[in-house]
Amino acid sequence: MPATIKDNTKLFKALSDPNRLRILKMLQTKSLCVCEITEVLKLATSTVSKHLSILRYAGFVIEQKEGKWVNYLINPKPPDQRISSVLSTLDFWIADDNSIISDKQKIQNIDRNIVCGR
């Protein structure tokens, strides 16, 4: 069944915010919890949760419960093949952005036991 304009709008809306693009690039490196993403983006937890909700609704990310943690990760089986296509080309579009490079370095050094325990 072909995608509708509403389907396309949902995908483009999810990609229309720089912080959501940053989140996608972080999650392409490793799964993260809200606290870790909040620490990197320096945004309110509620704002990060809203961004994740939009990405989840569009099919880009999923949640995975692991003990006391709720991890977010790139959807390995997105409902729409265009999502996989977009994710596979993100590097072409934004990998050399300074904020993307900085975020990638920051998430390597984040200790969730410290940032989530504050």
Q: Which domains are assigned to the chain?
A: 5-113 (1.10.10.10)
Place 3 in a pLDDT band, splitting at 50, 70 and 90. confident
- Report how far apart, in Å, the C-alpha atoms of 63 and of each of 17, 57, 60, 71, 115 are: 20, 11, 11, 6, 19
Q: Taking residues 69-91, what's their average pLDDT?
A: 92
The answer to whether residue 118 scores a pLDDT higher than 70 is: no
- Report how far apart, in Å, the C-alpha atoms of 48 and of each of 42, 61, 74, 82 are: 9, 13, 16, 24
What percentage of the chain reaches a pLDDT higher than 90? 69
Structure pTM?
Answer: 0.91
> DSSP for 17-48?
SHHHHHHHHHHHH--B-HHHHHHHHT--HHHH
